[in-house]
Homo-oligomer: A and B are copies of this chain.
Amino acid sequence: MRDIFILTEQQLRECVSLDAAIVDVIESAFRALAGGKVVMPPILSMDIADANGEVDVKTAYIPDFDGFAIKVSPGFFDNPKLGLPSLNGLMILFSAKTGLVDALLLDNGYLTDVRTAAAGAVAARHLAPSGIRAVTVFGTGIQARLQVRAARLVRAFDKVHVWGRNPERAAACAGDIAESLGVDAVAVSDPGAAVADSQLVITTTPAREPLFRAEWLHPGLHVTAMGSDQEGKNEIDPAALRDADLYVCDRLAQAEKLGELRSARAAGYLGDVSPPELGAVVVGDHPGRKDDRQVTICDLTGTGAQDTAIATHANQVARAAGLGNVIRA
């Protein structure tokens, strides 16, 4: 019999939010990835076609972290018809010394939302030009909102363009961004014009055909593409990866299977290079952006290292705050 610590989504929302501290926590995961001692196996992925569902399991062991997380992320895309969210899941934190269950983080995907957005902030901090006036975001969901909020933790823009297939949702998303960040945020119908006005573009869609055109690249632009995390997804025109001055991914082994790199290579580009990972840029092993005129692209597929980092952090801050329940099992 041992005590297992249980945190609900509500308790996690009380003690973990998308702020500068979380960006540093996630940045530490990328630093660790650059160190070469992280153990991060391929994602376990299972399709449940009968229910239009899928489930992914991610994990990573990071040396010097007390625990490692196993994250289970189901996505069941008929759920909205039942009034339920498509995305769910939980994280389990295990002791890295004994393998015993330390904590169950019943977050319904909340920590994934936060750590995914925080990775966008890390990318923007290390790759976006220093001066950003306007941002364009593709997509109108939770990540569209959170990615813009994350970017604002590291860059001081005051204009946001929101593009989505559904104009009403784009307007609602822009309204939420304007209200929460106090910036001028508007839905746009011409994404090319919005990109031309922007120094940072963030794509957050599940697109299977490119939305972002290569001809939209312009000097002084950084693009973070975080939508593609599965074979078959593709937000960015492969020629844009060819034309950019620098392409960076979160994890090469994942990006070449699940990210924009997969589509670019299928189109015949970047076949002869081994692109740098974000961690290498963070720790300075790769120079990253050389000047404010360069064009850079960062491809985020989502890593188990981020999950281990945020789960470890959430466990610590929740315990310190006296939150959570204990079950003897």
Chain A residues near B (Cβ < 8 Å)? 1, 4, 6, 8-10, 39-48, 50-51, 53, 55, 57, 59-61, 63, 68, 70, 72, 74-76, 79, 82, 84, 88-90, 92, 94, 96-101, 104, 106, 108, 325, 327-329
Contact = CB atoms under 8 A, between A and B. Distances in A.
A156 B68 CA distance: 46
Contacts of A329: 6, 8-10, 106, 108
B48 A39 contact: yes
A100 B88 contact: yes
Nearest to A74: B99
Nearest to A40: B46
Given A88-B100, A329-B108, A61 B46 contact: yes
Interface of A is mostly: strand
Given A46-B59, A48-B68, A106-B4, A53 B99 contact: yes
Nearest to A42: B44
Contact of A327 (B6, B59, B92, B101): B6
A120 B101 CA distance: 28
Nearest to A53: B99
Contacts of A4: 106
B57 A47 contact: no
A302 to B, nearest CB: 15
Contacts of A61: 46, 48, 50
A54 B41 CA distance: 12
A28 B8 CA distance: 35
3 nearest A-B pairs in the assembled complex, by CB-CB distance: A74-B99, A106-B329, A44-B44
A99 B70 contact: no
Contact of A84 (B41, B98, B101): B98
A188 to B, nearest CB: 34
Contact of A59 (B39, B57, B82, B88): B57
A21 to B, nearest CB: 24
A60 B44 CA distance: 11
Nearest to A64: B50
Given A50-B63, A70-B57, A108-B329, A76 B99 contact: yes
Contacts of A72: 70, 92, 94
Contacts of A98: 51, 53, 76, 79, 82, 84, 88
A328 B76 contact: no
A8 B328 contact: yes
Contacts of A1: 9-10
